[in-house]
Structure 1
Amino acid sequence: MQESANIRLDWERETRTGVGEAVLAQSKTLVQLVEIVRMTLERDERLFVTRLCADKAADISIKFPTGFHYHPPSHTAVIGEPALGSAPLEDVAIVAAGTSDVQVAMEAAQTLRFHGYEPKLIADVGVAGLWRLMERLDEIRQARVIIAAAGMEGALFSVLGGLVAAPVIAVPTSVGYGVSEGGKAALSSALASCSPGIVTVNIDNGFGAAIAALKILRLSDAASS
């Protein structure tokens, strides 16, 4: 454990859980984030940052021109060595229903890359044009774990669950309006699905979906070795 100015970084987390230390930036001040970067780089550690806005990232980059790597499409960053996935593409497929769901999908992708997996991202295959999903189905079926991100009514989760053998981790997104606003309709759809083998994380939680996929893969690898 490393402490400074009410900040406690848990460098033993990876040893305990197999998952590296991560920080949610959304509610943190720039001063707190700068201190977190400084603490991480001083120890020559790696740390993953989620929900980091571009303005704060730009300010941090000025103070730390090396060792801080921001990924604008996902609003994530890596402190220390950059995220480089190396495991086969076929291990994880991340399926985004619409282009508007890609940010959440990219958060999941960057999380997996930070931990050494290079996922395959398949975007804009929502059920409004089912042929788009069917065109990519053979690729999706190669994955050992599937992360699906969808807003609106969240129909993609049930459709995928009925077409693939791999577990599907549903990520409801806050994309939508009216009764779909805020992602609650998509969350209800994921939880109420009659397609077996679907598990669900919180709304917009691409990070949590990626960690769940990571643990499934590692347990599977350990069992087969």
Structure 2
Amino acid sequence: MTDKTNDLDAILQQVQSKQLSINDAKSQLKQFDDLGFAKIDLHRSQRQGFPEIIYGDGKSAEQIDDIIHSLKSNDQTILATRVSESKAQYVLARHPELSYHAQANIICTPIETITPSTHYAAIICAGTSDLPVAEEAALTAEVMGIAVKRFYDVGVSGIHRLFESIEDIRNSSVSVVVAGMEGALSSVVSGLVDHPVYAIPTSVGYGANLSGVTTLLAMLNGCAPGTSVLNIDNGFGGGYNAAQLIKMLEKD
């Protein structure tokens, strides 16, 4: 993370040496961009290590477009979650250099342009129906500069599928486990690895699943230690937490 005091000193020195105009310095020191309907936090990367992320659900395509324009104007990495395909088409027509991942409903800076970390996160998904949440987690981590290995459709009803990849999972620095139904996969993984596990319950399941509430409660009551539970369908949160942990490991 950039030290704000050092940033300020550098900007003032550039102004003093006439390498930077006063107007450019004021632009760099501006903490947010007021768009009327939103105030875009331009210093979040200095405080938290990553720029403001756009939550697309409930925003119009035009609003998402304006926010992306603001972030791009300030050289920020773009990550917009929960963006429908129709909104994405509007946005990409105006920002064709960005990528849209339909399964995860994410618009972002192209993954291939981002240098990945040395440590990697394991994104583990119980079933195909959980893939949208798993991909939201995986892409969030990748946009934040984290190397990811995906282990999909390895739920407990066919536990041998998980064991085939268990050494690669053990060699990761953090696991994100995405599961619906009874959510048992997170306890199984936690009992097999020596690193933190982030469990994400999904709203996938029949009747008494209660849109993910039973999965959430099952994960919260899991017997294996080392598990932290995210909110229902919160792939973004799991990916973000995994990225923060790995960034801490890779600090100089």
Normalising by structure 1, what TM-score?
A: 0.92
Tell me the C-alpha RMSD between the 2 structures.
Answer: 1.5
Check if 1:22 corresponds to 2:59: no
- Identity among equivalent pairs (%): 36
Q: Deviations over 1:139-193 (max 9, x none)?
A: 1111110000000110001111111111110011111121114111111111101
- Letter in structure 2 aligned against 1:9: I
Name 1:54's counterpart in structure 2.
Answer: 85
Unaligned runs of 5+ in 1: none
Unaligned runs of 5+ in 2: 1-31
Inter-partner Cα distance in structure 1 for 2:158 and 2:74: 50
Q: Is the 8 A contact 2:61 2:87 kept in 1?
A: yes
Q: CA deviation at 1:219?
A: 2.3
Q: Is the 8 A contact 1:85 1:115 kept in 2?
A: no
Select 1:69's aligned residue among 73, 77, 99.
Answer: 99
Q: Which contiguous aligned blocks of 4+ residues in structure 1 show a shift greater than 4 angstroms? A: none
Q: Deviations over 1:70-128 (max 9, x none)?
A: 111211111xx42335124x521000000111111111111111111120010000000
Inter-partner Cα distance in structure 2 for 1:92 and 1:38: 30
Check if 1:176 corresponds to 2:232: no
Check if 1:119 corresponds to 2:145: no
Q: CA deviation at 1:19?
A: 2.4
Q: How many residues align?
A: 219
Q: CA deviation at 1:216?
A: 1.6
Report which stretch shifted further, 159-168 or 55-64.
55-64
Check if 1:8 corresponds to 2:39: yes
Inter-partner Cα distance in structure 2 for 1:19 and 1:39: 15
Q: CA deviation at 1:29?
A: 1.3
Name 1:37's counterpart in structure 2.
Answer: 68
Select 1:82's aligned residue among 101, 110, 114.
Answer: 110
Inter-partner Cα distance in structure 2 for 1:198 and 1:60: 37
